[in-house]
Protein backbone atom coordinates (compact mmCIF):
# COMPACT_ATOMS: atom_id res chain seq x y z
CA UNK A 1 0.00 0.00 0.00
CA UNK A 2 2.83 2.41 0.84
CA UNK A 3 4.45 1.71 -2.53
CA UNK A 4 1.14 2.45 -4.29
CA UNK A 5 0.85 5.80 -2.49
CA UNK A 6 4.46 6.68 -3.31
CA UNK A 7 3.88 5.97 -7.00
CA UNK A 8 0.58 7.88 -7.01
CA UNK A 9 2.08 10.92 -5.29
CA UNK A 10 5.52 10.95 -6.84
CA UNK A 11 4.95 9.77 -10.42
CA UNK A 12 1.40 10.94 -11.09
CA UNK A 13 1.33 14.34 -9.39
CA UNK A 14 0.01 15.89 -12.61
CA UNK A 15 -3.30 14.09 -12.00
CA UNK A 16 -3.97 16.29 -8.97
CA UNK A 17 -3.46 19.44 -11.01
CA UNK A 18 -5.73 18.09 -13.77
CA UNK A 19 -8.51 17.26 -11.30
CA UNK A 20 -8.26 20.72 -9.79
CA UNK A 21 -8.42 22.40 -13.19
CA UNK A 22 -11.38 20.25 -14.23
CA UNK A 23 -13.12 21.16 -10.97
CA UNK A 24 -12.50 24.85 -11.61
CA UNK A 25 -13.95 24.51 -15.11
CA UNK A 26 -17.06 22.77 -13.75
CA UNK A 27 -17.45 25.49 -11.12
CA UNK A 28 -17.14 28.20 -13.78
CA UNK A 29 -19.74 26.56 -16.05
CA UNK A 30 -22.03 26.12 -13.04
CA UNK A 31 -21.67 29.82 -12.29
CA UNK A 32 -22.73 30.72 -15.83
CA UNK A 33 -25.75 28.43 -15.54
CA UNK A 34 -26.92 30.44 -12.53
CA UNK A 35 -27.57 33.44 -14.75
CA UNK A 36 -31.30 34.24 -15.12
CA UNK A 37 -31.43 33.24 -18.79
CA UNK A 38 -30.37 29.68 -17.88
CA UNK A 39 -32.83 29.22 -15.01
CA UNK A 40 -34.03 25.87 -16.40
CA UNK A 41 -30.52 24.46 -15.76
CA UNK A 42 -30.29 25.59 -12.14
CA UNK A 43 -30.35 22.05 -10.67
CA UNK A 44 -27.63 20.96 -13.09
CA UNK A 45 -25.61 24.04 -12.08
CA UNK A 46 -25.87 23.03 -8.41
CA UNK A 47 -24.54 19.57 -9.25
CA UNK A 48 -21.70 21.11 -11.24
CA UNK A 49 -20.83 23.17 -8.15
CA UNK A 50 -20.87 20.10 -5.91
CA UNK A 51 -18.83 17.85 -8.21
CA UNK A 52 -16.49 20.68 -9.21
CA UNK A 53 -15.84 21.50 -5.56
CA UNK A 54 -15.07 17.84 -4.86
CA UNK A 55 -12.56 17.73 -7.73
CA UNK A 56 -10.95 20.95 -6.49
CA UNK A 57 -10.68 19.45 -2.99
CA UNK A 58 -9.13 16.22 -4.30
CA UNK A 59 -6.70 18.23 -6.43
CA UNK A 60 -5.67 20.40 -3.48
CA UNK A 61 -5.19 17.47 -1.13
CA UNK A 62 -3.17 15.66 -3.80
CA UNK A 63 -1.02 18.73 -4.35
CA UNK A 64 -0.47 18.96 -0.59
CA UNK A 65 0.68 15.33 -0.52
CA UNK A 66 3.06 15.95 -3.43
CA UNK A 67 4.55 18.98 -1.64
CA UNK A 68 4.88 17.11 1.65
CA UNK A 69 6.48 14.15 -0.14
CA UNK A 70 9.01 16.40 -1.89
CA UNK A 71 9.92 18.23 1.32
CA UNK A 72 10.42 14.99 3.25
CA UNK A 73 12.95 13.82 0.67
CA UNK A 74 14.76 17.16 0.59
CA UNK A 75 15.42 16.99 4.33
CA UNK A 76 17.04 13.55 4.14
CA dist 11 and 29 (Å) reads 30
pLDDT in tens, 5-59: 677 667 777 888 899 999 999 999 999 999 999 999 999 999 999 999 999 999 8
Query: 18 and 57 in contact (C-beta within 8 Å)?
Result: no
CA dist 16 and 58 (Å) reads 7
pLDDT in tens, 18-32: 999 999 999 999 999
Residue 1 confidence class, pLDDT cut points 50, 70, 90? low
Total-model pTM:
0.77
CA dist 23 and 65 (Å) reads 18
Amino acid sequence: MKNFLRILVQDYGWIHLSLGLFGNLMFFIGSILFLPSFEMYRTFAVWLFIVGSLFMLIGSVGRLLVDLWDRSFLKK
